[in-house]
Amino acid sequence: MSRFWKIALIVVAVIVVLAIGFRLVHKPGGAGQGRGGAPGAGGDNAPVPVTVVPVAKQDVPIYLTGLGTVVARNTVTVNPQVGGQLLSINFKEGDEVKKGDLLAQIDPRTFQASYDQAVAQQHQAEAQLATARSNYERSKTLLAQNYIAKQDLESLRNTVVQDEALVAADKANAENARVQLGYTRIVSPIDGVAGLRAVDPGNVVTTSTAIVTLTQIHPIYVEFNLPEQNLDQVRSAFRSGVSLPVTALDRTDAHPIDASGALQVVDNQIDATTGTFKLRALFDNKDGNLWPGQFVNVQLKVNTVQGGLVIPAQAVQRGPDGDYVYVVQADKTVKMQPVTVASEVGDSHVMIGKGLALGEQVVTEGQFRLKPGSKVNPLKPGEVPPAPTAAELQKAAKSGQGGRGRRGH
């Protein structure tokens, strides 16, 4: 018997709960609470206030974006070309240097002595050549008078040729010694920024000793990747011969760092592992805002659509069948219109490729309360719906829906 009573009590409790729920649902004015969502006195047929914006036409630049890395145009590790004791460091770390500026000085005394010796040998050879030429010229006149044998004259001519060769060799030796002497002055091969020095004055350096690394930043490269589906679009625009502008943006808040870039190279292959291809842009970087190794967002302009149809991005809704917008019709009702978004226009607008016509009114605020056929009260951006009249408030009070409708909003 105890089990029977337990089951009976459970059945009674269920019946009581269902009865209470039935009374709450059928309480007078109860249904109006859920349907009286329109602000003011409205009721089921009250128009819903929504913000609308007309479809506009404007020229729309088409951008492709990717993640890029700043790369120095030239990077040079400066090594001595001769060995010796380092006398001085003539640059300041982190400063910009110009091509030809003195970076360091190696003790030149040994090389100066070698050069002086080579010059002396050259002078000696030139004196011997002058004597040989004089003897040869004098002997040519003696041959006509039969005072010298033709064989002796030939020997004198060969001596002149040999001395000319010696002079040429000594000139080359002297030039080599002069070049070696010049290498004791270590100068910058490029315009660039000096890094940290790798050696101190007083050390003995060799040709394998690194002095400093220079990086060229004016101009500078930015390398970035784009998805392979953009390849045909980029190549077509690049082959047109028109310079394609590139802007480097900050990674944090996407503000422009440098807008002086232009696309320079499209790589000749697609990375099979990532499905992307590499591009390189050249920036003037006059202000030095771009720095080697820096990560930036890259914006590449590939085209400009003339007379594109533009609406605020917030008007576009995502549904199970794709993107759509609510369009206000002539009778102040709305219809759900499928659209195709062609591209973004800045941070707040999009260009529509298909689905809308110029001048159509699209809903930008209040869509969550709409369904196809809903009556609306179109408002311009910044406008607010008018306050309900006294008659509307009285009517709402009689129907028991006025206050509850506002909470529905």
- Are 266 and 291 in contact by the 8 Å Cβ rule? The answer is no
Q: Where are the alpha helices (DSSP H) in 214-301?
A: 231-239
Whole-model pTM: value is 0.67
Task: Supply the pLDDT for residue 408.
Answer: 35
Distance CA 172, CA 122 (A): 9
Task: Supply the pLDDT for residue 140.
Answer: 75
How many other C-beta atoms can be found within 10 angstroms of the C-beta atom of residue 288?
12
Task: Supply the pLDDT for residue 253.
Answer: 75
Q: What is the CATH number of the domain that holds 223?
A: 2.40.30.170
- For residues 189 and 222, state if they share a domain: no
Q: Which domain holds residue 104?
A: 75-213
Distance CA 252, CA 401 (A): 49
Task: Supply the pLDDT for residue 157.
Answer: 85
End-to-end CA distance of the chain: 54
Task: Supply the pLDDT for residue 345.
Answer: 84
Distance CA 355, CA 341 (A): 9
Task: Supply the pLDDT for residue 145.
Answer: 67
What's the structural domain count of the chain? 2
For the chain, counts of helices (H) and of strands (E): 7, 22
- For residues 198 and 263, state if they share a domain: no
Averaged pLDDT, groups of 10, the chain, 409 residues long = 65 69 54 41 70 93 93 96 96 96 97 96 93 82 71 83 93 96 97 95 96 96 96 93 93 87 95 96 94 95 91 92 94 94 85 93 90 92 70 59 35
- For residues 81 and 140, state if they share a domain: yes
Backbone angles phi, psi at 232, to 5 degrees: -60, -40
Distance CA 295, CA 347 (A): 21
The strand ranges marked E within 107-211 are: 185-187, 192-194, 204-205
Largest CA distance in the chain: 165
Report yes or no on 347 lying in a domain. no
Dihedral over Cα of 125, 130, 133, 138: its sign: negative
- For residues 246 and 132, state if they share a domain: no
Report yes or no on 138 lying in a domain. yes
Residue at a domain's end among 195, 213, 231: 213
3-state secondary structure of 373: coil
